[in-house]
Structure 1
Amino acid sequence: MTRKERVALVSLFASIGLTAAKLIVGLLIGSLALVTDALHSGTDAIATLVTFLAVRFADRPADDDHPYGHGKFEDLAALGEGTLLLVLAGGVAVEAWNRFVGAAAPPSVNFIAFAVLGVEILINLWRARALHKAAVETGSRALAADAMHFLSDVASSTIVIVGFVATIYGADWADSVTAAAIALFIGWLGLRMIRRTADELTDRVSPTIGRTLRRLLQDLPGVVAIDQLRVRAVGPRHFVDISAGVPRTFSLSETAAVKRAMAATISAEIADSEATVSLRPMPIDDESLRERVFLAASRERIPVHHITIQHLGDRLSVSLDCEVDGAMPLGEAHEVASRLEAAIRAEIGAEIEVETHLEPLYPDLIPGAKLPDDRVAAYAAVLKEAAEQNGVSDIHNVRVREIDEGVFVAFHCRFPPALSAAEVHRRADAVERGARIAFPEIRRIVSHPEPLRE
């Protein structure tokens, strides 16, 4: 048995006991106000029974029939309790009016009536505090409604005591008026409970929650726009559905990081919450033409490199290397290139000039064999000579391997740290060309530039 169930069960027994005591005394002394108060406690007993059953259902986990859980059962229980209060208030108001007009005899107030009411007030204050504490800790609206019932019992019992005192001092109408006052109080409680429960059943939430979440999420890095934000409460749990836009240039890992940040922000703002985040890629104002070319290629799943963009008066020219399988027939490779060119024109504009160069891709694993040291030394000597002619320093870590289609060469070299990347590439490229002239069998050559050491 959960804590909510234990609290609800103890409240049920307390309601039954207090109802019986007040009803017996009220009938014995002929007090409509006390009988009304007893009936009020009786509705509390019924409501507590409903609460006990509701929290048992509400604590069940989500299933296929109730994907958001069973928390709404507590709202239904609270709605039933509010309806009971309205029915009781109406009946008591009618009886109080009849007694007032019919000048009914005043009740025979005695010490027992005061004692029962005093004990009942103390017990109800204790139970209301326990119920309220449990409701806050568990987020149970049914327990909160039950706590309100017990507090209303305290208020109505206090009104009865005031009526008894007035009766003792000769106010024969006090019992009827007291009963009517209790009826008004009970009716107000019922209407208030029904209104709050209706808000829960219709998924009404405070606009402040949405505004706060939207502001916090909009401030997160990577969030371009908030398209839709919906919050609904089911029992103590909040479900947040959000759709937002992120830059379409983001990688999958960057998009996933934004999604995690949004979910963490929502959890930090609403403790017991579950967020469903949907992200869509969207264009942003500061996208470069190069990024747009990469996006067009990525949508077609075609790897590209060496993109060059030229301004030709009122139009643009884009040239790039389109990577295809080295074993692919030319007819298929040309279709791949044509598809890429069409995607780039669709992204940037039909009037753009697009030139593609087919670049064969190497297999992931290429068998290679290290050449003898004397041959490696010959390659290194040529590289050093070309480096001296082109302002490149410290050729080192030279590696030469034989592959199926020729020779693979890799080397490291150094440049001044302040030299631009474009100039570094130009000089390194010149060294590579010199090596290819000396050794036409070079199939692939890779240079790794490093800054000069002080």
Structure 2
Amino acid sequence: MRRVSPHCMMRSATALRLLRPAARGALRSAGARSHAMLSTEAVQRISAVGILADVGFGCTKLGVGTACASPALVADGAHSLADVLVGAVSYGAYAAARAPPDEEHPYGHGKFEAGGSLVVGGALVATGAAAAANAATMATAAPDVMTLPAMTACAGVAALSIAGKEWLYRATLRAGERGRSDAIVANAHHHRSDAYASIAALGGIVGTYVLGVPWLDPLAAAGVAAVVAHQGVHICRDAVDQLLDASFDPARVEQLRDAVSETLGPEYVVERLRARKAGPGIVADLVLSVPAGLSASAAHQVGEHGAVALRRAASEAGVAVADVQVHLDPSDRQERDTCLAALPSTLEKRVTSRALRHPRVRGVAHCVVRYDNTKVLAKVDVILPDAMTLRAAHGVAGALRRSILRGVPELHEVDVDCELDERRARTSRRGVGRGRHTSCM
């Protein structure tokens, strides 16, 4: 039997530990892709089933309702046929909203969801108005009381529609929530409103036969119209809010903010978190407050950690994040007193040019401008001759400070550091290192 050395086993264990995070990431990515594919397939399947069912229910209701003189069933049939258009528009909006960003649409196509929902809502309102008009026409005609065969046929069709539409509502809602699609969810509620309409129609049909009151059927039709129109107005309102970039659910935004704050700790404050719906997900604006002296690269890392924490918390809450914009503010920033001087690069060039005018300055090693509350500060490192005494270097630094403050009036303070000319210092003073160093504030 082949024996494996302990060192080999240790190396294998180490390699496995190193591979585990990457493997977990790959598994998560593969799982996300698989979930997206399954969601898309479920939406496609239920959308096709819903369209076929609406065609069948609509034609049956219109035919039986017209033959039996039932305005409630006719109105319900018109509602079902309107669902055919609604189902097609809903799926079209779902597919269009998931198209990747392109040059003309760099922020993606998420608004197609809201547009599709708006069309769905408008179709419902129009269907409700048409059903109400038909009910009024039938009521003024004063139809005769239904016969038993007519009542049985109309009630049977209505009962079948109730069962079918309730099943479609549950299946479509489940697919829409898995696919995070407002348009598909709106279509699911459309199916539920159709079930309610069928219940009203069934009540009117049975009531007309049992009580012998002809106007109960048109009254039920008017009730159907009211339910359909109300559902359409609700869907339109939500769609308009999304098109106008209305804020995402404030309670859920606060939960996301708490999660980011907990991840970053007390050193970095979440000043503001805003979010709005964008198709299947949300777009978030995250403003963090970081220490004023933090380097740009360190502040960028803080922003990355904040964005990752936001995405993770949103994913755990079942919310997809399409994009996160992170803005970093220094912790001592005062909005009302912020001074918009020249750009830092422009000021640094002017400070460097001013320093190089001094006859004893051989070069500028480094220059940086920073903003401290309402003050603009500069730090410049100048290179002086290696033979210069400490007293002379201190005098040069003081003269440079005064010259720079006169030549660059936007600055409030200047820190001048003086260094030896390293090229000559290395040849004539090998054991000295960088030599003398002085500064003047």
TM-score range, shorter chain: 0.5 to 0.7
1:324 partnered with 2:324: no
Equivalent residue letter for 2:223: A
1:223 partnered with 2:245: no
For 2:84, the equivalent position in structure 1 comes to: 45
1:370-381 to structure 2, matched below 5 A, reads none
| Closer/same/farther in 2, CA of residues 253 and 25 from structure 1, 3 Å limit | same
For 2:282, the equivalent position in structure 1 comes to: 238
- Check whether the contact 2:420–2:434 (CA below 8 A) recurs between aligned residues: no
Q: Distance in 1 between matches of 2:256 and 2:173?
A: 28
Unaligned regions of 5+ residues in structure 2, if any? 1-36, 335-343, 353-363, 367-378, 436-441
| Closer/same/farther in 2, CA of residues 342 and 32 from structure 1, 3 Å limit | same
Which structure's relative contact order is higher, taking Cα pairs within 8 Å and 6+ residues apart? 2
Q: Distance in 2 between matches of 1:251 and 1:177?
A: 72
1:147 partnered with 2:191: no
Q: Distance in 2 between matches of 1:192 and 1:150?
A: 14
- Check whether the contact 1:341–1:356 (CA below 8 A) recurs between aligned residues: no
Match of 1:338 among 397, 400, 423: 400
Match of 1:84 among 123, 127, 140: 123
Q: Distance in 2 between matches of 1:337 and 1:214?
A: 51
For 2:251, the equivalent position in structure 1 comes to: 208
Using the TM superposition, name which of 175-184 and 240-249 deviates more.
240-249
Match of 2:216 among 157, 174, 182: 174
Q: Distance in 2 between matches of 1:284 and 1:64?
A: 36
Secondary structure (helix, strand or coil) at the match of 1:69 reads coil
Q: Distance in 1 between matches of 2:283 and 2:387?
A: 51
For 2:233, the equivalent position in structure 1 comes to: 191
Deviation at 1:346, TM superposition (A): 7.5
Match of 1:270 among 314, 326, 334: 314
Q: Distance in 2 between matches of 1:356 and 1:52?
A: 66
Compute the TM-score of the two structures, normalised by the length of structure 1: 0.65
- Check whether the contact 1:407–1:444 (CA below 8 A) recurs between aligned residues: no
| Closer/same/farther in 2, CA of residues 115 and 327 from structure 1, 3 Å limit | farther
Equivalent residue letter for 2:420: P
- Check whether the contact 1:9–1:52 (CA below 8 A) recurs between aligned residues: no
Match of 2:153 among 67, 88, 112: 112
Equivalent residue letter for 1:176: P
Q: Distance in 2 between matches of 1:104 and 1:257?
A: 76
Q: Distance in 1 between matches of 2:112 and 2:215?
A: 43
Deviation at 1:218, TM superposition (A): 5.9
Deviation at 1:33, TM superposition (A): 0.4
For 1:373, the equivalent position in structure 2 comes to: none
Q: How big is the alpha-carbon RMSD for the aligned residues of Structure 1 and Structure 2?
A: 4.0
For 1:121, the equivalent position in structure 2 comes to: 162
Unaligned regions of 5+ residues in structure 1, if any? 286-294, 305-319, 367-402, 409-441, 446-454
Q: Distance in 2 between matches of 1:107 and 1:339?
A: 102
More strand by share: 1
1:138 partnered with 2:183: no
Deviation at 1:217, TM superposition (A): 5.1
More helix by share: 2
Deviation digits for residues 42-72 of structure 1 (CA, Å, limit 9, x no counterpart) = 1111111111222221221111222221121
- Check whether the contact 1:229–1:240 (CA below 8 A) recurs between aligned residues: yes
Secondary structure (helix, strand or coil) at the match of 1:171 reads coil
Q: Distance in 2 between matches of 1:95 and 1:24?
A: 15
Q: Percent sequence identity over matched residues? A: 27
Larger Rg: 1
- Check whether the contact 2:90–2:187 (CA below 8 A) recurs between aligned residues: yes
| Closer/same/farther in 2, CA of residues 24 and 230 from structure 1, 3 Å limit | same
Equivalent residue letter for 2:309: T
Using the TM superposition, name which of 268-277 and 126-135 deviates more.
268-277
Q: Distance in 2 between matches of 1:193 and 1:117?
A: 25
Q: Distance in 2 between matches of 1:357 and 1:70?
A: 54
| Closer/same/farther in 2, CA of residues 28 and 236 from structure 1, 3 Å limit | same
